Every structure is written in C-alpha cells, then in structure tokens.
Amino acid sequence: MPTTITFLGHSGVMVRRGPHTLLIDPFLTGNPAAVHTPAQLSPTHIALTHGHDDHIGDTAALAKASGATLYAAWEICEFFGEQGIKHLEPGNPGGEIKTAFGSIAFTKAFHSSSHKGRYMGQPCGLVIRLRGDNEKDLTLYHCGDTDLFADMGLIADIYKPDIAFIPIGDRFTMG
C-alpha cells in the first residue's frame, strides 16, 4: 500500500501508510484552509509539535473517537490525560519513541507553547520514520512552528529526511 501525505491546512498533515494514519497538528475546526472535518478522519496516531490552539486543534475529539495514540511533549500529554485521553506517549527534544509504523524523534524548535495561559512544554520538531515491509523507508521532518536555526543542518545530517514540512509565516515563524 503506498504512502500518502495530505496537507490539512495551517500546519496540519495526514500521513497514511498501510494500516496507520498519523495526523500532525490536527487543527481542523475553525481552520479556513481545512479540507476535512474531524468526523471524516479516523487516525491511529496523532503527533503534536506544541500546545497552541492552532496546532492542538481537534486532538481531543479525534483521539477520543478513534482511540489514537498521542505523541507530544510531557506537559501536553498531561493536559490531554486530564481530558480522558488514554493512549499517551510523552517525549522531549533528544528523545525518540518507537511506534507501530517506525519511530518519532523529538527535535528542538524555537517558538512558544501555551494553551489559555497554561505552559504546555517545550515546542518540538518531529522526525517521523516510516518503516515498510514492501516499501522504501521514508523519513519526514515536521519543523513545527520555529525560526531558522543552525541545528536544522544537524537534523538533516543525522536523520536525512526525504520530505520536510517547513513553516513560513513570517510573524511567528521563519519568513
């Protein structure tokens, strides 16, 4: 089964490979660029780069409806655990979590991370490695919201991403 990557609007991305559907930063409701509603998606995994509303978006509803595993900073996982989300995999920059589809490594990102005044942990970039039995391994780098920084060169050297998702918003991210 081929890998498909779909832009969900803003920073949101859906990655499908085999039986796995990963949503990254699923801000759908209220997002004028979103082409899907939460009811149309059934993720097996959700990964978050940081805790701002326009990134966590519909995470709680999606995770509750689908039973998806959530990968995010420790504080974000605590927040969603308080909302009844059961399958939580916290991480921080420098850490890597093995998953059913491969792995997610957390990298640095230079931004802020809060939700309604609550600190939501350090913002992260995500390196997602998709392992496939019948397909070439694929490495994705989702920078999250960040400024350009020199360690992006190290991330490229170490992880060798095939595809990168890079923010270019100018006021709150690199321009």
Say what the pLDDT of residue 123 is: 95
| pLDDT < 50 positions in the chain | none
Return the ∠ at Cα 146 (arms to 12 and 102), rounded to 5°.
Answer: 55
Q: Structure pTM?
A: 0.95
Return the ∠ at Cα 75 (arms to 5 and 100), rounded to 5°.
Answer: 40
CA distances to 34, 89, 99, 143, 159 from 105, in Å: 26, 12, 10, 12, 9
Q: Which domains does the chain have, with CATH numbers?
A: 4-165 (3.60.15.10)
Say what the pLDDT of residue 64 is: 97
